[in-house]
Amino acid sequence: MLIRSSKVAYGVLLLVAAIWGSGFVAQRAGLIYLQPFSFNVARFVIAALALLPLWFYQTRGRANIAHYPRVFWWGSLFAGTVMFLGFSLQQAGLQYTTAGNAGFITSMYIVLVPLFGLLIGQRTNWYTWLGIGLAVIGLYKLSLNQGLNMNRGDMLELIGAVFWAIHVLAVGWLSTRLTDLVGFSIGQFVVASVWAALIMWLVEQPKLYAFLQAWQALLYSGVIVSGLAFTLQVMAQRSLNASMAALILSLEAVFALLAGYWLLNEPISTAQILGGGLMLLGMLLSQWAQSKTSSVDS
CB of 114 closer than 8 Å to CB of 129: yes
Residue of 33, 43, 38 lying closest to 225 (CA atoms): 43
Question: 147 falls in which pLDDT band (50, 70, 90)?
Answer: low
pLDDT tens string 81-122:
999 999 889 878 878 887 667 767 777 787 888 888 888 777
CB of 5 closer than 8 Å to CB of 185: no
Amino acid identity for residue 164 in this structure: W
What is the enclosing helix (H) or strand (E) of 212?
helix 208-213
Higher pLDDT, 101 or 144: 101
Q: What is the pLDDT of residue 100?
A: 64
CB of 61 closer than 8 Å to CB of 242: no
CB of 236 closer than 8 Å to CB of 159: no
pLDDT tens string 219-243:
999 999 999 999 999 888 888 888 8
Kindly list the distances between the CA atom of residue 104 and the CA atoms of 12, 43, 206, in Å, as whole numbers in the listed order. 20, 22, 30
Amino acid identity for residue 272 in this structure: Q
Q: Is the pLDDT of residue 145 over 60?
A: no
Kindly list the distances between the CA atom of residue 156 and the CA atoms of 7, 161, 162, 183, in Å, as whole numbers in the listed order. 34, 9, 10, 30
Higher pLDDT, 263 or 142: 263
Q: Is the pLDDT of residue 284 over 90?
A: no
Question: What are residue 166's phi and psi, to 5 degrees?
Answer: -65, -40
Q: Where are the domains of the chain?
A: 6-62+71-293
DSSP label of 61:
T
Q: Is the pLDDT of residue 298 over 80?
A: no
